[in-house]
Amino acid sequence: QVQLVESGGGLVQAGGSLRLSCAASGSIFSIRSMGWYRQAPGKQRELVATITSGGSTNYADSVKLRFTISRNNANNTVYLQMNSLKSEDTAVYYCNAVRTGRSYNLEDWGQGTQVTVSS
């Protein structure tokens, strides 16, 4: 079991920046990768960015060059630095963790944090 707690969401003007944090606890030793997903009303939850235990990253085309995912292994926290925010970035952002073992491949999700970009 992995507990994920997001923070940092809020209201920001278009063109501004915001940093989201996701603190992981529990079976953190088994986490293979973590990521950020988002869901806007009426839309499917979509990938924003992921980062593996080895540090490799992946981004959705819509956020490349604007968002940066990073991690702090000391406190098991993953961050999402969001710059040049647009109104279309408005969504609930969810933290995700993938735990992979010899006999399992599980996902855990945080409760989500609202990001609203005004213009």
The string of pLDDT tens digits covering residues 76-93 is 999 999 999 999 999 999
Whole-angstrom distance, CA of residue 112 vs CA of residue 110: 6
- Per-residue pLDDT at 100 exceeds 90: no
What 8-state DSSP symbol labels residue 38? E
Residue 64, pLDDT score: 95
User: Could you give the CA distance from residue 110 to residue 96 in angstroms, rounded to a whole number?
Assistant: 7
Average pLDDT (12-19) is: 98
> In the predicted model, is pLDDT for residue 101 greater than 90?
no
At residue 75, the pLDDT reads 85
- Per-residue model confidence (pLDDT) at position 60: 98
For 24-80, the pLDDT digits (tens) are: 999 888 899 999 999 999 999 999 999 999 999 999 999 999 999 999 988 899 999
List all residues 6 or more positions away from 65 whose beta carbon is below 8 Å from its beta carbon: none
